[in-house]
Amino acid sequence: MAILTVNQLSKKYGKITALQQVSFSVPQGSVFGILGPNGSGKTTLLGIVMEVLKSSGGTFQLFDEVPTEKTRQRIGTLLETPNFYHYLSAVQNLKITAGIKKRGADDIDRVLQIVNLTQRQHSPFSSYSLGMKQRLAIAAALLGNPDVLVLDEPTNGLDPVGIAEIRELIKKLAKEGKTIIMASHMLDEVEKVCTHVAILKFGKLITYGDVNEILINDDIVEVVSSDLERLKNTLINMPNNTHVQITNETVHVHFAAGTANLEAINKFCFENGIVLSHLQLKKKSLETKFLELTN
């Protein structure tokens, strides 16, 4: 079963196209990252799925059905910003959430504990810091222990400890078999927690699929010796490499993912009369890949 399927989804704001015929599907049990720079259409996409924005074209399904408000009650969603009644406390706000979702009224203590808001549960929302507001929004999404979570920039406004906690939480929930759809502009966040990724840019879907196939598809070996030019020219002749270049006083040798063999490189160089002073395997940097994909 697909948890979410979007089909040719488009959205126009006047002349601006925020979303351009985007199609993908989110498999059950995946942690699905929607990755893209600011303004790439991530929130617009999720807003349409959550019925707060009207699409200009295309369709979407949740749980393989045309969704209704009942479908949304089964999903824990944090979209864009934490939206709460500013004069009410955390507990009072979550009671409203539970009332609308028709579940989770007995779950409020647990979710507040998870996000460390128990101490401030009776303070009004307006007195919260940005990070606390964000944590309350995550608590609201967790309310009633839903099988599917939609989290738009979940670590927004959190301190480093908070960010680490939320990542651990997402991993833990994924282990429990929950499906998590997460929008983010932070690559390392997606790399660390997601199993699948869709990359958006200017409202267009650039690619999507397994995170290991899309984000990490090259092994790079850094090699240094006294004569870089000679080293480079030698390594070009080594079998199986895809590309050799000199960057920052280092020779970079590219291999297809999982095929780089450091011993073989060392041996190959030594046999060709070169002694290496540095030899290190690097996965292709995510930043590089992301810039490559989105530029």
Residues that bind another protein (CB under 8 A): 47, 50-54, 68-70, 72-73, 77, 79, 81, 83-88, 92, 95-97, 99-102, 140
Nearer to another protein, 84 or 208 (CB): 84
Nearer to another protein, 50 or 186 (CB): 50
Distance in Å, CB of 114 to another protein, minimum = 18
3 state DSSP class of 180: strand
Closest CA to 194 of 213, 221, 220: 213
Distance in Å, CB of 137 to another protein, minimum = 9
Distance in Å, CB of 63 to another protein, minimum = 14
Spell out the SS3 assignment of 226-268: CCHHHHHHHHCCCCCCCEEEEECCEEEEEEECCCCCHHHHHHH
For residue 200, what is the enclosing H or E element? strand 196-201
Distance in Å, CB of 68 to another protein, minimum = 7
What the block records as the tokens of 277 is 């002073």
The C-alpha atoms of residue 198 and residue 208 are separated, in whole angstroms, by: 4
3 state DSSP class of 159: coil
Distance in Å, CB of 240 to another protein, minimum = 51
3 state DSSP class of 63: coil
Nearer to another protein, 152 or 218 (CB): 152
Nearer to another protein, 140 or 231 (CB): 140
Distance in Å, CB of 109 to another protein, minimum = 18
3 state DSSP class of 90: helix
Distance in Å, CB of 77 to another protein, minimum = 5
Helices 90-101 & 130-142 angle (0-180, nearest 10):
30
Nearer to another protein, 51 or 227 (CB): 51
Nearer to another protein, 51 or 287 (CB): 51
Nearer to another protein, 41 or 47 (CB): 47
Q: Distances in Å between the alpha carbon of 278 and those of 243, 249, 263, 265?
A: 19, 11, 13, 11
